[in-house]
Amino acid sequence: MSSFPLILSSPSGAGKTTIARELLRRRTDLGYSVSCTTRRPRPAESDGTDYFFLTREAFLAARERNEFAESADVHGDLYGTLRREVDRILAGGQHVVMDIDVQGARQLAGVYQESVLVFILPPDSRVLLERLKARGTESTGSLDRRLKSAIAELEAIRMYHYVVVNDALDRAVGAISEIVDVEDMRTSRIARLGERIGELVAGLEGELKNIQRSS
Ligand code: ADP
Ligand code: 5GP
C-alpha cells in the first residue's frame, strides 16, 4: 500500500489541530508534518513540535533555497510545509497528516498528486466563534482577520475530496479515520497489485485444469 499526504483544512477554530492530534494518537500509520511559521508561539506551543517558529528573514531564506513544498501568507503571517518533512514521513511508509490552509492545499496537491484533501466544517457559525473565543489565543484584530479568511476559505471547498463536520470530536475523528481506510483500498495504492492478480489467475487456471482432468 502506498502512503499519501492527508491534507486537513478548515476555517480557523473549526478544530483541525485537535482532530489531527487525536488521529495521530489513534493510528500508527500516520505521521505529522511540522510546518514552519513566522507567527509567534502560543503559550502551550513548543518549537519543533507544533511548528518550527522562524523569523521572517529565516523563512524567506528557506523559501529562497526551495525548501518548501508549498508556502502561503495566512492572516498576515507566513506558513510553509518543508519538503524534507513530507518526504521523510512518506519514505517511512506512513501517511502524512498536514494542517494547512486552502492556498497551501492547492499547491501541495499539485506537487503530491496522490494527496487526499479533507475540509473540516464547524457545525455552525456560532459554534465556530465560541470555539475561537474559548481557545483564548486571539486578540480582537486577529479574531476579525480569522473570520474574514474563514469566509474566503469556504469558497474553496469544492477543491476538496471529502467534507467532515466537527460536531462531536470522537465522531469527526472516526469519520476521517474511515476516509484513510477507504483511501488505502484505492486500486492505484495497492502494492504489487499486478503481481498478486497474476498469482491468483495462475492458481485459478491450475484449479480449472484439475477440474477438467477429473471430469
Ligand atoms: P483549528 O486548528 O482549526 O484552528 P483547534 O483545533 O485549535 O482549531 O480548535 C479550536 C478550539 O475548539 C480548541 O479550543 C479546541 O479544544 C476546541 N474544539 C475542537 N474540536 C471540538 C469539538 N468537536 N467540540 C468542542 N470543542 C472542540
Ligand atoms: P494557526 O496560526 O491557527 O496555527 O494556523 C493558521 C492557519 O495556517 C490554519 O488555516 C492552518 O491550517 C494554516 N497553516 C498551518 N501550517 C501551514 C502550512 O505549512 N502551510 C500553509 N499554507 N498553511 C498552514
Parse the chain into domains and list their residue ranges.
5-184
Q: Which triple of cell numbers denotes residue 79?
A: 506558513
The model's confidence at residue 137, banded by pLDDT at 50, 70 and 90, is confident
Residue 132 CA to ligand 1 centre (angstroms) = 8
pLDDT score at 215: 84
Where do runs of H (alpha helix) occur along 37-124?
Answer: 56-64, 83-91, 102-111
pLDDT average, residue stretch 78-92 = 97
Residue 80 in contact with ligand 2 by CB distance below 6 A: yes
Residue 134 in contact with ligand 1 by CB distance below 6 A: yes
Determine contact, residues 2/68, Cβ cutoff 8 Å: no
pTM of the model: 0.94
pLDDT, the chain, mean:
95
Residue 149 in contact with ligand 1 by CB distance below 6 A: no
Residue 90 in contact with ligand 1 by CB distance below 6 A: no
Q: Does position 142 have pLDDT exceeding 90, yes or no? A: no
Which-ligand-closest: CA of 173? 1
Give me the percent of the chain exceeding a pLDDT of 70.
100
Q: What CATH number does domain 5-184 carry, 3.90.550.10, 3.50.30.40, 3.40.50.300, 1.10.10.10?
A: 3.40.50.300
Distances (CA, A) of 71 to 36, 38, 138: 9, 11, 22
Burial of 60 (0-12, 13-18, 19+ CB in 10 A): middle
pLDDT average, residue stretch 125-150 = 88
Q: Does position 1 have pLDDT exceeding 70, yes or no? A: no
Residue with cell 483500498: 185
Of 79, 78, 71, the residue nearest 106 (C-alpha): 71
Residue with cell 500509520: 29
pLDDT score at 106: 97
